[in-house]
Amino acid sequence: MSVLRAAIAQMNPVLGDMDENLRTHLQYIKEAKSKGVRLLLFPELSLSGYKLGADTINLAIRNNAQKIQELARHTENIHVIIGCVEEGTAAQFYNSSIVVADGEIEYVHRKLNLANYGRLDEGKYFGTGRYVETFHIDSQWKASVLICAVIDPFGKTLAIANGDSEQLLIADIDYAQVRLARFHLPTVRDSNLELVCREINRIADYNRIPPCRKTT
């Protein structure tokens, strides 16, 4: 069974300077590949910086923009998750994470639970995402993306930053351990679908995820 080496790029994006942030992304991707990382995660809005306000419209890009494709060209044998302001159809803007791997754009996730409390006013600038989907890393590993406070964190700590400096945090995730933990989930083993549905609805209501149904 495989071990997935995953990493987080703890970086401090330069607010509004996408060219400088692009260079930083490329440096982290190069470092991660040299250390055998197969899944690299960048922060929320890593290409633009976070508190954009009225500049949101000026820093919005399509999910197939040149900067995304430039990053994708450096993703041989690695999945990279990039944060950006995505411009969708009809001039709608999203706080998005884009997954690129092996030169291709594989998946786009749009933030579900926009932060609208305290001094945060994401709902003023961003549309709300509607779906959570998954993407394959290999035949055993499948992943998804959630941005910020969409679900309460759980599990154990796999990596701890050495102070507040910019750095690459690496963790090895053993599929055998994940498999065993998955087997012992009572809601899965006992096929208690009523409990599963109740918990999903509770979490969705708590996080104000809008009701939706996707058809294919």
CA–CA distance, 9 with 29 (Å, rounded to integer): 9
DSSP 129-198: P----EEESSSS-EEE---STTS---S------SSSS-EEEEEEEEHHHHHHHHHT-HHHHTT-HHHHHH
State the CB neighbour count (10 A cutoff) for residue 34.
8
Selecting among 84, 86, 87, 111, the annotated active-site residue is 111
Selecting among 33, 44, 67, 106, the annotated active-site residue is 44
CB 37 within 8 A of CB 50: no
Selecting among 31, 33, 106, 148, the annotated active-site residue is 148
CA–CA distance, 41 with 62 (Å, rounded to integer): 20
212 catalytic residue (yes or no): no
CB 119 within 8 A of CB 147: no
111 catalytic residue (yes or no): yes
β-pairing verdict for 3-10 and 167-174:
antiparallel
Position 193, amino acid: L
Q: Which residues carry out catalysis?
A: 44, 111, 148
